[in-house]
A = this chain, B = another copy of it.
Amino acid sequence: MMKIAVYGYGNLGRGVECAVRQNPDTELVAVFTRRDPAAVKTLTGVPVYSANDILSFRDKIDVLIICGGSATDLPEMTPQLARYFNVIDSFDTHARIPEHFANVNAAASENGHIALISAGWDPGMFSISRLYASAILPDGNDYTFWGRGVSQGHSDAIRRIKGVIDARQYTVPVPAALEAVRNGENPTLSTREKHTRECYVVAEESADKAAIEAEIKNMPNYFADYDTTVHFISLEELKRDHSGIPHGGCVIRTGKTGLNGECSHVIEYSLKLDSNPQFTSSALVAFARAINKMYTRGITGCKTVFDIAPVDLSPLSAEELRAHML
């Protein structure tokens, strides 16, 4: 039985708590929080402890799943905790992965632990799909589409506008672009041609809606490069119709083979997720299993999803997998 603990109890931590119940070889032994533990109630009654007390659990945890944010939490937490535990996180700031890897690798290696960073779906399963596809079809093009799904960052950006009570932003792939890619047309696509952005906004009664809409549509980096639609709705409608956190998308590689590139091939990996954090949590638990297996074989240091052989993700033996899944 693999003993898992969760560090940080938000959507992701709750997702891990649920995922552990679906994996009979795993057990959630503790949740750690930076809040007052007495104020945190878990979904399944798993005990909650203060993050300050975590070092007393050094011999009681096989893998610690760190459920923090990538902006400020994980760059601090993961290297710090990798000194004392085998750890895994879902760090998703792509540009800062090399730096995060170096920090976590130093901490884990020096202290004889194993760590895995950036597990989830992107980075994570989408990255794995890009790697397999580019290795098999070296003469080709990669495309990644996200959505239809809620972007937390874009929703937050709208909420910061004066007069906005709440908001939800959906990233939506442009159907014509997707179709051209799937047909192997190898289009060159601008940012605007790949995705549109749909915003559902609850504004204060007295707010100037036209001004809010203009501010959203012209917001640099977030919306200015996209075709953006803004719908003003009531708080009731937002809660009723937009309370989920769905997401997904697809990674497509088109490539040529043959003596003169005469054959075309399309590889596509796609996800349709009712809950972005729950899927990420489920991936975290599977990759936690993998690093736990690797640790028992004496492997230490920081890893990414690229370093994990698929066999290590499964609760089944290599023999069973060869007989029934190959």
Give me the interface of A with B, judged by CB distance under 8 Å.
15, 18-19, 21-23, 43-44, 94, 97-98, 101, 118, 123, 125, 127-132, 134-139, 182, 184, 257-259, 262-275, 278-279, 281-283, 286, 289, 304-311, 313-315, 318-319, 321-323, 325-326
Contacts and interface: CB of A to CB of B under 8 A. Distances in A.
A326 B275 contact: no
A186 to B, nearest CB: 14
A257 B17 CA distance: 11
Number of copies: 2
Given A136-B313, A264-B274, A306-B311, 13 more contacts: A22-B138, A94-B326, A98-B323, A125-B267, A132-B313, A135-B286, A184-B272, A257-B281, A268-B270, A304-B326, A305-B326, A306-B322, A307-B311
Given A131-B313, A311-B307, A322 B101 contact: yes
Contact of A311 (B98, B131, B321): B131
Contacts of A289: 135
Contacts of A272: 182, 184, 265-266
21 contacts: A22-B257, A97-B322, A125-B132, A125-B136, A127-B326, A130-B325, A131-B313, A131-B314, A132-B310, A135-B289, A135-B310, A257-B278, A264-B274, A265-B275, A266-B270, A266-B271, A268-B271, A304-B322, A306-B310, A306-B321, A306-B322
